[in-house]
Amino acid sequence: MSTYTAPRRQWERAEERDSAVFLKLFSLFAGITIPFVIGIGAWLAISAHDAKKDAQAAATRAAASPATSAASMPGMATSGAAAAAAGAAAAGTRATPSFAGVAPANADALAAARKAYPAELPAAPAGPVAVVNLSIQHRAVSIAPGIHYDAWTFGPTAPGPVIHVREGQTVKVVLRNDAPMPHSVDFHAAQIAPNVAFSDVMPGKTKTFSFVASAPGVFMYHCGTAPAFMHIANGMYGAIVVEPKNLPPAQHEYVLVASEWYLNSAGLDGAASLDLTKAEQMTPDWVTWNGFAGQYKAHPLMADPGQTVRFWVVDAGPSLNTDFHVVGTVLQRAWLNGDMVDAPQHEIQTAMVPAGGGGVFDVRIDKPGIYPFVSHSFASVQMGEVGLLNVGHVAGTMSH
């Protein structure tokens, strides 16, 4: 017992001594640091006040003289509205109100008269090398009936052209920048050093790089110039199909690229630009298949009963996923995530296609009718991500 007690008392005494020393040291430390901390606090308060004043002044300047502000920001929007939005965001102001569903009185006539983005998968070039020419442009595009947007594009449309190659082909990309600011292209199908291949191309310049399309599936390509978020939101994306060997045949193959649009105005009278705050909050005005709300309602995709229809789906985002679903059937084959190395899954009701990802889906419909294809995340349908597959060339339409 004694052999146990004595060491314990020694330990207690040692602790008391340590406590006394600690209290002295703490008093000394506090005496030095508390006034210092108070001083830092006061300095931070003054700095925050100054920063707020600076941000407000910057926002006012951006709104007053948008073109100059945009030009002074490398990699940022050249449009005044986007620059103003960036300035406003710095000041902590809010996004513009929603313009979802805004439509002129003649919206149906405009939708019918407009030629739809071609969803049919184009043929893959023959030979070992597929040459892909992409020209980058800044141009106004139409994203819904009567709604215009100042887009940045690959080619004349957003999305850019559908690229179709075969597994194992070498893809030679020739990228020409006809826009007034740096841009680039990032191919998700490539396995390549991105700092070299995907680097910026200056206005008026061309760059060439090649990669071997060794991974089959359907992939996104997009501008990767910083901030890539803004470049994608402005329309710089498209789909590349890398067709695997020994794929079961399909009578119709359609490519669908989903994306969201975030507008700083309705886009009815003049073209809208990006509302960056709205994009950051992921509250789009429009969500589209192939860049135009509801275009395959006015111009349905066609098939005959009993035919296999293959959908090659990419979700370009920039931020929302697509939950692919065809009303009135199931996805008989579903290559989820665009994985075409492994066998597909079967009889799926809804398949998620993530932002920046793809999926390949076969349906075979025996009964004539009109079958909507949607994102079953239904807010996106409300904002335009809906089209129709007309099986058997039947009359009529269907809303969803």
Q: How far is the CB of 388 from Cu ion (least distance, A)?
A: 32
Binds Cu ion by CB under 5 A, chosen from 89, 102, 144, 223: 223
Phi, psi (deg, nearest 5) at residue 92: 80, 20
- Quote the distance between the C-alpha of residue 79 and its chain's center: 20
Nearer to Cu ion, 160 or 384 (CB): 160
Interacting span for Cu ion (CB under 5 A) from 101-109, 160-168, 216-224, 338-346: 216-224
Count Cβ atoms below 10 Å from residue 285 Cβ, excluding itself.
Answer: 29
Interacting span for Cu ion (CB under 5 A) from 221-229, 258-266, 314-322, 378-386: 221-229
Binds Cu ion by CB under 5 A, chosen from 100, 102, 236, 258: 236
Interacting span for Cu ion (CB under 5 A) from 15-23, 83-91, 183-191, 258-266: 183-191
Distances (CA, A) of 223 to 18, 124, 133, 147, 237: 63, 23, 15, 24, 7
Interacting span for Cu ion (CB under 5 A) from 233-241, 252-260, 327-335, 356-364: 233-241
Nearer to Cu ion, 78 or 225 (CB): 225
Q: How far is the CB of 141 from Cu ion (least distance, A)?
A: 15
Nearer to Cu ion, 225 or 264 (CB): 225
User: Could you give the residue ranges of the DSSP H alpha helices within the chain?
Assistant: 2-64, 66-71, 80-90, 107-113, 194-197, 228-233, 276-280, 295-298, 379-382
Count Cβ atoms below 10 Å from residue 399 Cβ, excluding itself.
Answer: 9
Count Cβ atoms below 10 Å from residue 39 Cβ, excluding itself.
Answer: 10
Nearer to Cu ion, 183 or 333 (CB): 183
Interacting span for Cu ion (CB under 5 A) from 42-50, 142-150, 229-237, 362-370: 229-237
231 in contact with Cu ion (CB under 5 A): yes
Strand pairing partners for 144? 147
Binds Cu ion by CB under 5 A, chosen from 138, 164, 183, 333: 183
- Do 386 and 366 meet the contact criterion of CB atoms below 8 Å apart? no
- Dihedral sign of CA atoms 259, 262, 266, 268 in order: negative
Nearer to Cu ion, 183 or 299 (CB): 183
Q: How far is the CB of 245 from Cu ion (least distance, A)?
A: 34
Residues touching Cu ion: how many (CB under 5 A)?
A: 5
76 in contact with Cu ion (CB under 5 A): no
3-state SS, residue 365: coil
3-state SS, residue 224: coil
3-state SS, residue 26: helix
Pairwise CA distance, residues 146 & 141, whole Å? 10
Binds Cu ion by CB under 5 A, chosen from 137, 169, 177, 225: 225
218 in contact with Cu ion (CB under 5 A): no
Residues in contact with Cu ion by CB under 5 A are 183, 223, 225, 231, 236
